[in-house]
Amino acid sequence: MFGINSIQVDVLAFGAHPDDLELAMGGTLLKLKAQGYRVGLVDLTRGERGSRGTGQTREAEAKAALEIMGADFRENLDLGDQELRDTPERRRAVIECIRRHKPQLVFTHYLQDRHPDHEGAAQLVKHAMFLSGAVNMDASGEPHSPKRLLHFFSHWMNEPNVYVDISEFYERKIRAAKSYTTQFYDPSSTEPATHLSRPEFWEDLEARFRFFGVQIGVEYAEAFWMREKIQVDDPVALFCGQ
């Protein structure tokens, strides 16, 4: 399903632009869906001011990627490419999105990144997630407080403290990401060159997820950072699988 809706999900992932979610955490989203969780994807902007492609081509590419990802829905809040930051109007839109879908787990960008929109998304979602449960918040929808917020990495990163084995889903993740054909290397393209359109981009990306995999002894992994501490009542069961 593509567009604004009220489907309730277990997991809600916010990306600044179409393609951010597939590139940074597509394997985790595929794995969660395969495990039976309901998964929703939210693009905060249309990516209409990027150096390559248009808002229309990015929309078509996002629909093609959704077919591969198999998420329960994808919607676009259209909060302004290259203008994404934490403002009352944008915050209200994200709060209402969270209240519509009532997720338990939320994902978004890491708090510092090379792209200003990524940083804007991180602050915006963090703030909105906190206020989504506030009864007197001036926003529509029933108050809802997700349980956890995890941050994924696009360029800059902190030391991750959560890793997910995506070895089984890596090839499908890359197929979904490659749906955004305007953004990546095309020798016939006359559009400006970008970081993503370099011929070696896919090799660089694979190296990152192989490196994350090495950290937990698997072929490929995606890594996240979580601010909150985790209470462990049974360390033996958690760490030794008993």
79: nearest Cα among 48, 103, 100, 108: 48
Lowest-confidence region among 18-22, 46-50, 58-62, 193-197: 193-197
pLDDT in tens, 56-67: 999 999 999 999
- Grade residue 191 by pLDDT with cuts at 50, 70 and 90: confident
Quote the percentage of the chain above a pLDDT of 70.
99
Sequence-separated (6 or more) residues with CB below 8 Å from residue 37: 9, 10, 11
pLDDT band at 68 (very low <50, low <70, confident <90, very high): very high
What DSSP string describes 35-61? TT--EEEEESS--TTSSSS-HHHHHHH
Q: What is the pLDDT of residue 33?
A: 98
45: closest CA among 90, 103, 92? Answer: 90
Cβ atoms of 161 and 147 within 8 Å: the answer is no
Half-sphere exposure of 63 (CA within 13 A, CB side): 8
- List of residues 6+ apart from 83 with CB closer than 8 A: none
Give φ, ψ of 75 to 5 degrees.
-140, 160
Q: What is the pLDDT of residue 54?
A: 85
pLDDT at 242 over 70: no
Fold entry, domain 11-240: Rossmann fold (3.40.50)
Which pLDDT tens digit goes with each residue over 117-150? Answer: 999 999 999 999 999 999 999 999 999 999 999 9
Confidence of residue 195 (pLDDT cuts 50, 70, 90): confident
> What percent of the chain lies above the pLDDT cut of 90?
81
With contact defined as beta carbons under 8 Å apart, do 7 and 140 qualify? no
What are the boundaries of each domain within the chain? 11-240
Dist CA 31 CA 164 (whole Å)? 9
Q: Does the structure show a pLDDT above 80 at 10?
A: yes
The size of the chain, in residues, is 242
pLDDT(217) > 80: yes
Q: How confident is the model at residue 196 (pLDDT cuts 50, 70, 90)?
A: confident
